[in-house]
Amino acid sequence: MLLAGGLFREKSIDMWIRGKVRLMVVALLGVEISMIAMASAASAAPAQEEQRESPPPITRNYTLEGDIRLARWITEEEPAKVPLKRAKTRQASVRISHGKALGQLKEAGLRWKSSGHCADRRVHSCTSLESVRTETIYRIIELKRVSGCAIMVTGGTETGHMPGRYSHGHGYKLDITENRCVDRFISTSFPRVGARSDGTSLHRGPDGTIYAHEPDHWDILFR
């Protein structure tokens, strides 16, 4: 009987120890699983944060309007809303060299003439396009395109013209020779809006361009 009782107690102790070991193993496994889950969450968080903060890929696209390129930014999700008027104003204010302006005129079929056979803007007998606005060149080319007339530029940014903000010297005005085609097109296409103080007849285009018919040429203000 004593032997049987001892064996029973020993077996009970062994079972108790095994039970404790199982509980410890389960607890350790739980801790390890929790640590793995926390590590996974920590590693995933920066990726999610980076994905949330990173902007969509941006590419550049150019739209050609006349001879002026207007830059627009386009994303994969939605086109960026670029104010067209502001973009055109920025491009219009760009100044270019005489050589570049003359090259654009010739390429479009316009002619250039200087009574002094020179292009120095400091000499009044020259015809210079130095520092002319890109919008001015674009619109004189457009005048030739829509009118179908021969256009010869005889006045640009050279000295000798009236000063002012919207003047020849600031790149807003050009002089062109008169001819039947040009006279007829401007006079019939654009309404007369009065006269200057010197009696010069004025016509206004729908884009705000002012055409002044002087005795031997047209003085054109492109605003």
What is the per-residue pLDDT across 55-106, written as a single tens digit (0 to 9) for each? 444 333 333 343 333 333 323 333 344 454 544 555 667 999 999 999 999 9
Nearest to 75 by CA among 87, 60, 62: 60
Do 170 and 151 belong to one domain? Answer: yes
The verdict on 196 and 159 lying in the same domain is yes
> Is 29 a member of any domain?
no
Q: Are residues 214 and 104 in the same domain?
A: yes
138 near 100, Cβ under 8 Å? Answer: no
Q: Do 175 and 160 meet the contact criterion of CB atoms below 8 Å apart?
A: no
Classify each residue of 42-51 as buried b or exposed e, where b means 16 or more C-beta atoms within 10 Å of its C-beta: eeeeeeeeee
Q: pLDDT tens digit string along 15-58? A: 656 665 566 655 665 655 566 556 555 554 444 444 444 444 43
Please tell me whether residues 148 and 78 are part of one structural domain. no
Task: Please report how the helices 134-147 and 98-107 are oriented relative to each other, as an axis angle in degrees rounded to 10.
Answer: 20
Q: Which residue has the tokens 């077996």?
A: 11
Residues 198 and 170 in one domain: yes
- Residue 199 and residue 184 in one domain: yes
Distance, CA of 112 to CA of 146 (rounded, Å): 19
Residue 22 resides in a domain: no
Range of the domain at 64: 58-88
Do residues 185 and 214 share a domain?
Answer: yes
The whole-number average pLDDT for the span 178-207 is: 95
Residues 120 and 216 in one domain: yes
Quick check: pTM over 0.75? no
DSSP assignment of 91-131, as one string? HHT-EE-HHHHHHHHHHTT-EE--TTS---TTSTTS---TT
